[in-house]
Amino acid sequence: MKPQERVHPNVPGVDQSDRLVPINLRQSGPTPVQMLISTRVRKSPFWHLSIEAGCWRATVYNRMYHPRGYIRPEDGGAMAEYDALVNRVTLWNVAVERQIRVRGPGAEAFVNRIVTRDATKIEPMRGKYVIVCNDKGGILNDPVLLRLDREEFWFSTSDSDLLLWLQGVNTGLGYDVDIAELDVSPLQIQGPLSEDFMADLFGKAIREMPYYGLMEAELAGCPVLVSQTGFSGEAGFEVYLRDATLNAEAVWYALRGHGARYGLRVVAPAHHRRIAAGILSWGQDMDTETSPFQVNLAYQVPRRKEADYIGRAALEAQRAEIDAGRYPFRLKMVGLAIGGRPITDYAPDFWLVSAPDRGRVGYVTSPWWSPELCHNIALGFVPHELSELGTRLTVELPEAYCDQSGQPVAAEVVQVPFRPSAHPSARERARAAGRDYVV
């Protein structure tokens, strides 16, 4: 039997020939199973507190159980959580963002070898969003990098095992550093009332903290590191609890108790809002076979960085191709405005994108309904020649979201981010000033 004759009928013909492991585009639908809770997957110190707060579903992230829903569908579900985020203030259990510390005399040089951006320019008590690439330029992780002092960095990791990569790399490089996971668990405080709420807890220094600034503090007698960061596009902060195994209850109840006067609500990480802000999710929008040049992260690859870093040769070769007018990848990430009924929950599949006279050409990675724009929005991959703003496409939505089963809905390539962020990126600021953002 020929290979093409063995292909299951729900596997589409989207060209992914530049990948070794193609994205799974089987349209299998929901997975109605009960998640097994066992000791093979870690529970964070906040897990039981999330259950107490009403968590009714979870996923696995960094080999830890990760709350992904508090408000039941019959009470408004994820969109009710969205309302709390964009109008008030919310508390997120994000202990799954494991904290990997690199400390020692060689810390700066080692970290600068690991990340594509210039780590030497990060001052103590500041942070940066960074990417870590392999030797082929594929994105291994996109952590927030926190610099506590000259010889100490924390990687606040996304959903891949960065600890093993860092320890493995240094086995060969031999920098004078200690690399270990900490008993530190972060919580996020996100929403327009977050600054007032945090200032009540930690004083006026919160109002003077720059974006990606850090501050050592105490809450309920427990040591915490506070940063002005988040995964929402709204104003927000993260509270990194030290000795979290011992202190989880004290800090959680302090935040919830004080937050009552602000209408604070415990919610899941707001993927509907981060999509609107153009914030990527590792494993969903990118992975180890994705180049930063495919997903609007070119600014993470500086043209001028003195020190060498892992992936540099591959990334510079890719940029040279792009500069010469030759796009070296099959697909590119774009923003999409999509028709159909409101998408108000997580997509169980990578829904398929088609183009007139070409059939299926790409797929959606992160879709959701935007109440502000009154239509569905999404991040997705399409061929480079179909990535221009205004390009008309179609998306095959499941029956729950379209008027006629099996009939694709209209879609259009649009600008990302879909709506302004509380802290505009350098790209957004350049666009607002009427100039290109050059890296």
Instruction: Identify the domain boundary among 233, 263, 293.
Output: 263
User: Do 92 and 98 form a contact (C-beta atoms < 8 A)?
Assistant: no
> Residue 312 contacts by C-beta under 8 Å, 6 or more apart in sequence?
116, 305
Residues 321 and 228 both lie in one domain: no
- Boundaries of domain holding 242: 184-263
Residues placed in the known binding site: 238
pLDDT one-digit tens code per residue, 397-426: 998 999 876 689 999 999 999 998 877 665
Q: Is residue 189 part of a domain?
A: yes
Instruction: Identify the domain boundary among 263, 297, 325.
Output: 263
Q: What is the per-residue pLDDT for 130?
A: 98
Share of the chain above pLDDT 90, in %: 88
Q: Is residue 290 part of a domain?
A: yes
What average pLDDT does this structure show over 29-36?
87
d(CA 439, CA 400): 42
Share of the chain above pLDDT 70, in %: 93
Q: Is residue 71 part of a domain?
A: no
pLDDT one-digit tens code per residue, 291-332: 999 999 999 999 999 999 999 999 999 999 999 999 999 999
Instruction: Identify the domain boundary among 232, 263, 294.
Output: 263
Number of domains comprising the chain: 2
Residues 382 and 252 both lie in one domain: no
E-only strand ranges, 135-257? 139-141, 144-149, 152-156, 178-181, 184-190, 214-219, 222-227, 236-242
Residues 291 and 230 both lie in one domain: no
CA 260 to chain centre: 28
Q: Is residue 13 part of a domain?
A: no
Residues 307 and 411 both lie in one domain: yes
Q: What is the per-residue pLDDT for 428?
A: 63
Nearest to 227 by CA among 235, 245, 215, 219: 215
Q: How confident is the model at residue 8 (pLDDT cuts 50, 70, 90)?
A: low
Q: How confident is the model at residue 155 (pLDDT cuts 50, 70, 90)?
A: very high
Length of the chain: 439
Residues 336 and 370 both lie in one domain: yes
Torsion of CA 288, 294, 295, 300, to 10 degrees: 80
Q: Is residue 80 part of a domain?
A: no
Residues 250 and 336 both lie in one domain: no
Residues 288 and 259 both lie in one domain: no
Which two structure tokens, joined as six digits, stand for 121? 């320019």
Q: Is residue 236 part of a domain?
A: yes
Residues 259 and 287 both lie in one domain: no
Residues placed in the known binding site for substrate: 238
Residues 197 and 300 both lie in one domain: no
d(CA 15, CA 382): 10
Residues 206 and 342 both lie in one domain: no
Instruction: Identify the CATH number of the domain in which residue 374 sits.
Output: 3.30.1360.120
Q: What is the per-residue pLDDT for 434?
A: 55
Residues 317 and 399 both lie in one domain: yes
Torsion of CA 51, 28, 270, 396, to 10 degrees: -160
Residues 237 and 319 both lie in one domain: no
d(CA 290, CA 428): 23
User: Do 353 and 303 form a contact (C-beta atoms < 8 A)?
Assistant: no
pTM confidence score? 0.94
Q: Is residue 141 part of a domain?
A: no
State residue 327 phi and psi, 5-degree precision: -80, 120
